Structure 1
Amino acid sequence: MPIRLGSPAPNFTAHSTKGDIDFHKFLGDSWGILFSHPADFTPVCTTELGLVAALQEEFEERDVKVIGLSANGLSEHDQWIKDINEVNNVNLQFPIIADGDRNVSTLYDMLDNQDPTNVDNDGIPYTVRSVFVIDPTKTVRLIMTYPASTGRNFDEILRVIDSLQLGDKHRITTPGNWKRGDDVIVHPDLSTAEAQRVFKDVRIIKPYLRLTSSPF
């Protein structure tokens, strides 16, 4: 079955740069991000992993555990991390899964089906740039897929996590281009009368569009 929003996040065991992991045990009661990379020692991936390492405190503040994946072995990963740290002036601490056999990539449908050149020496497809955000109940809450040629925007991923976490705590949704601290939308299931009891201020733009100050 394909993984969709609201699907249970499949569990797996794998080798990683931080030892063997059971994915669900690794996540525990935290939020999680699983994100894939086509291969080690590639330019776009090197910049991406450096960005994630630089944002480590931001993820920790949100109780998010990060785990990467690349279709190479542990020895390549260990050498690549040295390059990532040097190029980006970071200290990468999160685990990177060694998925040379593509077991996890296949389980999460992260293999490249578009670019026939994105294969290893054995002709096996590499992964595309997939992102899965998983909540503490092990439910998939966000799926993003970029082509191998395009680096991801991890500020956007943080923005979505902020929106999801806020919406889980309060009866709100977030408008386009919303960011932390901006006004939010009263959830459509909440009546205006009830919203006025729940929130400090409710501004009615349209009967179906009511804004309130961010609970952050």
Structure 2
Amino acid sequence: MTGTLRLGSTVPDFAASTNKGDFQFHDYINGSWAILFSHPDDFTPVCTTELGEAARQQGEFDKRGVKLIGLSANDIDSHDRWIKDITDVSKANVTFPIIGDKDRKIATTFDMLDQLDETNKDVKGLPLTVRSVFVINPNKQIVTIITYPASVGRNFDEILRVIDSLQLSASLQGKVTTPVNWRKGDDVIIAPPVKDEEAKQLFGNFRAEKPYLRFTPDPSKK
């Protein structure tokens, strides 16, 4: 399945061992939003800051009904030892599961392995994972894919922003989209298929910068 996953794909199901116990992925999602994200290696500097930030932001993901699931090509014992360092550095508890994918089976399915960066390999020369992010909706569809190189730490505020946009659009059956640099509470864009009359019924007044570019206040604020 390598390289076949796209936006709209049903996320593959798999059995996984994690530091929080074993699960079947589809059963674990169980009608929730979910984020599966990989990091290159335990006990590494950028990854330690990232997992710490994910732990600090856990409450924000919980508010949005999003389950976090980490993954790397380490074993569960390594995760358990490393979490102590993460807690020490970030002063936050890692409560989400981290998958141990030492055989790289899941990473291969999700095309997470770094094939180019010679510095992102283990002691045996095997490729480690890049910083992949898969956002999955309650229908088990992949709705966002973001990939960062090993050298670049992710921005979890941006990942939350993406979730806010996706959830707002989903709640209105795709009748709104969000503009550049949008934050929750900012004006949104009325989707082009929505005619003006329907837009008035749905949102009341709106402003049209161009016939194809119409703004209305964030409906979630009402």
| Equivalence for 2:132 | 130
C-alpha separation in 2, matches of 1:157 and 1:117:
26
Q: Aligned pair 1:200/2:208, yes or no?
A: no
Give the letter aligned to residue 168 of structure 1. Answer: A
Select between 42-51 and 199-208 the one with higher mean Cα deviation: 199-208
Q: What is the alpha-carbon distance in structure 2 between the residues aligned to residue 158 and residue 201 of structure 1?
A: 28
Aligned to 1:210: 214
Q: What is the aligned counterpart of 2:16 among 14, 17, 22?
A: 14
Indicate yes or no: 2:203 matched with 1:175: no
Matched, 1:50 2:52: yes
2:144 pairs, out of 142, 145, 148, with 142
- Asked if 1:88 is matched to 2:119, the reply is no
Unaligned runs of 5+ in 2: none
Look up the equivalent residue of 1:66 and give its one-letter code: L
Match of 1:76 in 2: 78
Q: Give 1:92-111 correspondences, 5 Å limit.
A: 92-111=94-113
Secondary structure, aligned partner of 2:67:
strand
1:97-143 Cα offsets, whole Å, 9 max, x none, are 00111011001000001202311122210000000000000000000
Number of aligned positions between the proteins:
216
Rounded to whole Å, the distance in 2 between the matches of 1:118 and 1:187 is 42
What does residue 60 of structure 1 align with? 62
- How many percent of aligned residue pairs carry the same amino acid? 58
Distance 1:108 1:183 in 2: 35
How far 1:14 moved relative to its partner? 1.1
Query: How far, CA to CA, are the matches of 2:113 and 2:38 in structure 1?
Result: 9
What TM-score do you get using the length of structure 1 for normalisation?
A: 0.98
SS in 2 for 1:20: strand
* Aligned counterparts of 2:24 and 2:186: Cα–Cα separation in 1: 38
The answer for unaligned runs of 5 or more in structure 1 is: none
CA–CA distance in 1 between the matches of 2:54 and 2:181?
A: 21
| CA distance, structure 1, for counterparts of residue 117 and residue 72 of structure 2 | 17
Aligned to 1:119: 121
2:208 is paired with a residue whose SS is strand
| 2:91 maps to amino acid | N
SS at match of 2:47: helix
TM-score by length of 2: 0.96
Whole-angstrom distance in 2 between the partners of 1:75 and 1:201: 57
Report deviation, 1:200.
2.6
SS in 1 for 2:28: helix
